[in-house]
Structure 1
């Protein structure tokens, strides 16, 4: 009997989180505001989840080339290549591999497999976020240091975008460069959610090739922009106009949340 008790104790200690997943069932919809490093605006996002799968969707729009701007005519503009399905991150709760659907400067989406295992540091600090009692955690991920807040009141290892791996729903994410901001704005644990089985039969590209595509598209955009500025500047000089046309500090390097 003592051996049985010790074995049972080991199982509960070694698999406490999985035990919670089996014991509790959720059909959840968490809504977020998301601004990644490459974004100029906050975007609405939805995280559908149950005890087995999660599906994060953002930047969906009926327009293939979605031009996002502000009320200020001199304000920023962001062009988003997308469709009515949007950008998607799908994963199985117990599998580090996730399927990512994104666009690379075209109307055709690409799907790549991204195996990620976060190395979290749990911090003994608590606060209320979005009306939920939360704990703090930190991690390093692809060139950035992140601080997140998660709630164990929703004991499922899910979160917005690619973030996961904590003993509860992640409700907010910020990075040390103040360029990534994700926050929960609404939570429904009795939502009618779509089928969350894997929507992707195959991948279309590797992550490495997808990043190469993004870099190539940005380089083309940068060169076109510089050529237009040079042409306008030459025309202004020919017209005798003493003006200097600027690119507004456009970086030669593509802005990216994932730096490596």
Structure 2
């Protein structure tokens, strides 16, 4: 079981991973395919549900470390990378020979059992349990939902953040001058390829 800020569930087969976890009181769902290098994510802005398609960004991993960590019954190796503006550290299990991990993380020579943004424990995931008895008849497939691009979702999210800034500053006294930079992204994805 893999979790981020709450409990979650991880299902893995040769080409797909499904992770269910709790984020902001709503269940976030991720459907990832290593064959097509895409992920479909169900996320929320307020109470509105969006199904989002994103290409998995290329992650260049540095595995030149001797550090290890035991997670469950597995000895995991350390790897680091930059991921969309964040420095991240991962621990992966070579004895689980699948190049998968939570969220949009992949590409190591074993399942990523722990990953997080350096110096930020909020943006992190860690396996709580590992289930290897996956039913043979289990099918993982992208949901048949209308999706928007991740770029469009980020635009909607940024637009909502600006609306909130405007609402919070609308009752200031006349003559008060404030300077507002772009709202800072606190998630693990801080900068995108298109920016």
TM-score (norm 1): 0.61
Instruction: Give 1:184's match in structure 2, choosing from 104, 124, 127.
Output: 127
* Structure 1 residue 226, shift from structure 2 partner: 4.2
Q: Distance in 2 between matches of 1:114 and 1:101?
A: 15
1:257 aligns with 2:175: no
Q: Distance in 1 between matches of 2:37 and 2:142?
A: 17
Counterpart position of 2:155: 212
Instruction: Give 2:41's match in structure 1, choosing from 100, 108, 128.
Output: 100
Q: Distance in 1 between matches of 2:136 and 2:57?
A: 25
Count, aligned residues = 181
Contact 1:48–1:193 under 8 Å retained in 2: no
Q: Distance in 1 between matches of 2:61 and 2:137?
A: 30
Q: Distance in 2 between matches of 1:122 and 1:212?
A: 34
Instruction: Give 1:201's match in structure 2, choosing from 144, 148, 155.
Output: 144
Q: Distance in 1 between matches of 2:111 and 2:32?
A: 14
Counterpart position of 1:145: 87
Task: Looking at secondary structure, tell me which structure has more strand per residue.
Answer: 2
SS in 2 for 1:180: strand
CA RMSD in angstroms, aligned pairs only: 2.6
Counterpart position of 2:2: 32
Instruction: Give 1:53's match in structure 2, choosing from 16, 29, 33.
Output: 16
SS in 1 for 2:48: coil
Contact 2:123–2:187 under 8 Å retained in 1: no
Question: What residue ranges of structure 1 are gaps of 5+ in the alignment?
Answer: 1-30, 35-41, 61-79, 232-250
Task: Looking at secondary structure, tell me which structure has more helix per residue.
Answer: 1
The CA deviation string for residues 47-101 of structure 1, in whole angstroms up to 9 with x for no partner, is: 21112211112127xxxxxxxxxxxxxxxxxxx373xxx3222122333222222
Map 1:51-200 → 2, pairs under 5 A? 51-59=14-22, 80=24, 82=26, 86-125=27-66, 126-178=68-120, 179-192=122-135, 195-200=138-143
SS in 2 for 1:108: strand
